[in-house]
Structure 1
């Protein structure tokens, strides 16, 4: 803990404690009962290992891991335990909360980062009815005193939260304190002004954020939507910048959703909860349609229920670079409400090796050259918050063109991420026919300039090749899809949960099938799945893979 945080905590202890609610915002945080049952059973995922602490134990071995400690101190688990909706679960949540106050409420422990504190405050206020149900008078006093302590700390230290999602969490917690607690009115106006300034600074004109993490965008939108609702229902003034930010973000969020309502999984984000996203959009009351063509650097193609999203912008170097993935030109695809092409996903909570593997280009439905990624990451072997982390050999130049005609819509994108290593450029054209029954892809690897050709020849020679390098198109499938190779391994038949079949062909190339994994947040282990790989070679400075995914009539 930095010394300024420590000083702010000491000073906060002398602040007048809150004594009651003046008003209580409606609960707007939702959890998953499956995760709640895991927590109640004492099972936690710590750096890829399942720690079994036993029932009734929460503040134990899992706190040795900073990432797990932040999750527990932030009370993310409270939403999930409440979702279990049994008297035993509600009672256990009360026990754990009052135990936290006894152990850490005076400013002790590691759970006092501003973003973690803001996250915790929101959940305490959201679930206050459950927390105070049949609580003893001394427990109620301790609860309100702890909220007052945290409000004072957030007022002093919200600026020390990292810009982006952490700072939005800290300020939202402060707004909740100002709205809900008696004696905390003085924090509301400055918190709303600060939140407005952050909206103006952090939310781009296209509604995106610098981390380019769709799930994080959704989380910020949910926080701002809840603040908007709470302040509006209380009749107080809200900074118009918050309203304008919501208006920019809503079309972007809709552009990054698939048919089942979940978010695209790029740059460390997971799918999110569809019903929670729906509720946030409904609460905001913004009916703007999805941004045409995509948002936040992701190109969107859709027709007949088929949706394809492609990462078509530079990797994020600010915001959360330690979660950036080497996913330029990677695609995700849904047919209706069912996923077809995916990425490995976020390895949050798993080991450092898996975290690094999930960020590699081969972990996405993308193209690799000689098995290499299109970017390297400084310090990618460590799972920790390192803001300002640098990307090495990441794509610098990315081009994007769109085309709509009588046959469908298409996007052509290229990047130079392989130029430094191999002297090669990758261009990918994706087209979706108007019927939605066929997706066409054209991956081209080439060297143009003399300098690029010299670099390519040197790289090939280093690998013992004579002006030839292998490259591969990876097609990662969702675990719920079944796949089999047919027609002499030139066709992959992908069967979705509803029995719908998609046929993958790669211009007569033989396809190979590989076992791989899929990360899904909330599970204590990765799911087994498959990927189809089409392999060709760059010969005399150029190589091409043409492929189609088609749905038979």
Structure 2
């Protein structure tokens, strides 16, 4: 997989001039945001995500690390920082880092938080593109509401007035723009922010029922019947679960009824997160999701009070899970199809495999900005452990298609042994082939065998006949070729040995990249089996990964 460069924004935030930007920045529209400024808030919503006091110290010293990028800023005000990507600016303006200052807990942290907020208000209290976009402003409002008790002074003050006035202006704007947005990506955070305002502003309580109803509708849309989130991003599952726990706890603290839809979503999301957890407790890397710090998943799962076990499969979400002994395989089958606005990564039939706490076969991960060159490269089929054709991305079937067009999955189990038979049309239109993948995991978890069959339905177009079957390897592994050159030997950090073997004539080791955490780009290797379609003859590739005896 080739490397791609990230283009930073120059001169602070990049420029943008949409029709909506012109309207929202106009004096007439800004005048509509004026509203009575409350003297206090009736509630301080609950944020269950843990903060990091050391990170607050770093920010105090002028070290700003967001979205995997670092900035040293001597004047300690980062708003006009140059050379940082848009994802960095967005995370800065979302203010989730307030939880780090709250975790620090000192009076100095409180004063510095207020100073940063006042400097932000000086620059951004009027509409600015990106800073006032729906999902940035919604996350900022959630953070400001949740940490209002930490920020507000006990007596009336200039800070309190300016903070609450800005909070109210942004809240009014968010309530307006949520009315005219079409359904698309997950908007739970927008309804969360509006609900928190209805609970917190003394004169907004009458709106809480309306926003709860909108939140329930959105949850029913974005959490599928099997518990899988429409993004198919494991990290998003976890963050949504944390938000819903915070909403549930906030409603209970305000003596409000918790809707059934929220409790049901929590009960469905928790097993889904367990589905995506490898033996190290961290999440698999599908559709741009990152693995998050150690213990993060278990901490949030414990707060959910949901006890459901990890399911074996997601028929609507399109994933399969094979667990035997200490071995775990998670695969994206594509079953159930995808809507266009749900598409993220083209990893159809890609899988990850781990044994105990050690990962062996992986996907390449993601970055904070999916629109960047790096983001697009990591979303390509070639960045996943699956079949690819000449850098052409596999195509997921659309949702609600006929049975003939959908990915097919057959699962069998016998005495702990597991078989998966899968078929995909992901290259039928572009290349003219079907891809069938058969996986077998024995009951001990010590042997994984696979068969990948490429079945031409017609002659592929010119220049599209070369294929690559990729197995990306975790960077902690030591990789070498056997003396014969026909097998790949793998040794884990703990000293466990594995052997990858195949009868395919063209077997190679190539460079790859691994991005499992923000800012991480580790070199690793990938096993690649290559070949070419000739006439319309089917091709069968058999391979196996087996653990070596001690």
TM-score (norm 1): 0.83
Task: Give the Cα separation in 1 of the matches to 2:24 and 2:190.
Answer: 13
Closer, same or farther: CA 162–242 of 1 in aligned 2, 3 Å? farther
How big is the alpha-carbon RMSD for the aligned residues of Structure 1 and Structure 2?
A: 3.5
Distance in 1 of aligned mates of 2:105 and 2:450: 47
**Shift, 1:104, TM fit:** 1.4
Report the counterpart of residue 103 of structure 1 in structure 2: 123
Q: CA deviation at 1:320?
A: 4.3
Q: CA, structure 1 residues 82+538, in 2 after alignment: closer, same or farther (shift >3 Å)?
A: farther
Given the superposition, is the C-alpha separation of residues 196 and 45 from structure 1 closer, same or farther in structure 2, using an over 3 Å criterion?
A: closer
Q: Distance in 2 between matches of 1:229 and 1:49?
A: 33
What SS class does the counterpart of residue 270 from structure 1 fall into?
coil
1:410 equivalenced with 2:419 (yes/no): yes
Distance 1:91 1:410 in 2: 59
1:430 paired to 2:452: no
**Structure-2 change in CA distance of 1:299 and 1:101 (3 Å):** same
2:226–2:314 Cα contact (<8 Å) kept: no
Residue 94 to residue 544, structure 1, CA distance change in 2 (3 Å)? farther
Superposition pairs of residues 287-302 of structure 1, within 5 angstroms: 287-294=307-314, 296-302=317-323
Partner of 1:312: 333
Distance 1:108 1:186, change over 3 A: farther
- Give the SS at the match of 1:421: coil
Within a 5 Å distance, the mapping from 1:367-382 to structure 2 comes to 367-375=387-395
Q: 1:239 to 1:327 in 2, by over 3 A?
A: same
Supply the distance in 1 between the matched residues of 2:155 and 2:119 (Cα, whole angstroms).
13
Gaps of 5+ in 2: 1-19
Change (3 A) 1:140 1:405: same
- Deviation, 1:152, is 2.6
How far the C-alpha of 1:33 sits from its partner, in A, is: 7.2
Secondary structure of the 2:410 match is strand
Question: Alignment partner for residue 533 of structure 1, among 528, 541, 549?
Answer: 528
1:128 is displaced (CA, Å) by 3.3
CA 1:342–1:160 in 2, change beyond 3 Å: closer, same or farther? Answer: farther
Corresponding residue number in structure 2 for 1:520: 516
State the alpha-carbon separation in 2 of the partners of residues 64 and 194 from structure 1. 35
Q: Any conservation in 1 of the 2:324–2:416 contact (CA below 8 Å)?
A: no
Contact 1:483 1:494 in 2 (8 A): yes
CA distance in 1, matches of 2:163, 2:369: 30
- Conserved 8 A contact 2:44-2:147: no
Distance 1:305 1:99 in 2: 52
CA–CA distance in structure 1, aligned partners of residues 85 and 162 of structure 2: 28
Distance 1:354 1:115, change over 3 A: closer
Q: Is the partner of 1:319 in helix, strand or coil? A: helix
Q: CA deviation at 1:55?
A: 5.8
Displacement, 1:312? 0.3
Cα distance, 1:473–1:134 mapped onto 2, change above 3 Å = farther
| Counterpart selection for 1:303 from 324, 346, 365 | 324
The residue aligned with 1:112 is 132
What is the rounded CA distance, in whole Å, between the counterparts of 2:506 and 2:128 in structure 1? 60
SS at 1:521 equivalent: coil
For 1:266 and 1:477, locate their aligned partners in 2 and report how far apart those are by CA, in whole Å: 15
For residues 37 and 370 of structure 1, what CA distance do their matches in structure 2 show? Answer: 48
Instruction: State the match for 2:199 in structure 1.
Output: 179
Which of 454, 469, 479 is the aligned partner of 1:445?
454
**Deviation sequence 1:147-193 (CA, Å, 0-9, x none):** 22233333333334564654211111122223334333233222112
Q: CA deviation at 1:66?
A: 4.3
Q: What displacement does 1:207 show? A: 1.4
What's the counterpart of residue 384 of structure 1? none
Aligned twin of 2:148: 128
Q: Show CA shifts across 1:390-428 (max 9, x none).
A: 9xxxx9541111111135112111112222333221111
Aligned counterpart in structure 2 of residue 30 of structure 1, from 39, 50, 53: 50
> Is residue 329 of structure 1 aligned with residue 349 of structure 2?
yes
Q: Is the 8 A contact 1:74 1:117 kept in 2?
A: yes
Change (3 A) 1:344 1:59: same
Q: What's the offset of the Cα at 1:318?
A: 3.5
Maintained 8 Å contact 2:283/2:290: yes
**Count of residue correspondences:** 521
- Residues 1:494 and 2:490 aligned together: yes
**Greater mean deviation of Cα atoms: 150-159 or 220-229:** 150-159
2:470 to 471, 474, 478: 474
Shift of 1:204: 1.6
Say whether the 8 Å CA contact 2:441–2:447 is kept in structure 1: yes
TM-score, normalised with respect to structure 2:
0.84
SS of the aligned residue for 1:58 comes to: coil
How far did residue 53 of structure 1 move?
A: 4.7
Residue of structure 1 equivalent to 2:548? 552
Residues 460-490 of structure 1 show CA distances to partners (whole Å, capped at 9, x for unaligned) of: xx349xxxx5433211112222222223222
- 2:291 aligned counterpart, secondary structure: coil
CA distance in 2, matches of 1:359, 1:544: 26
Query: Residues of 1 paired with 2:155 and 2:546: CA distance?
Result: 60
**What is residue 239 of structure 1 aligned with on the other side?**
259
* Cα shift at 1:530: 1.5
What's the secondary structure of 2:250's corresponding residue? helix
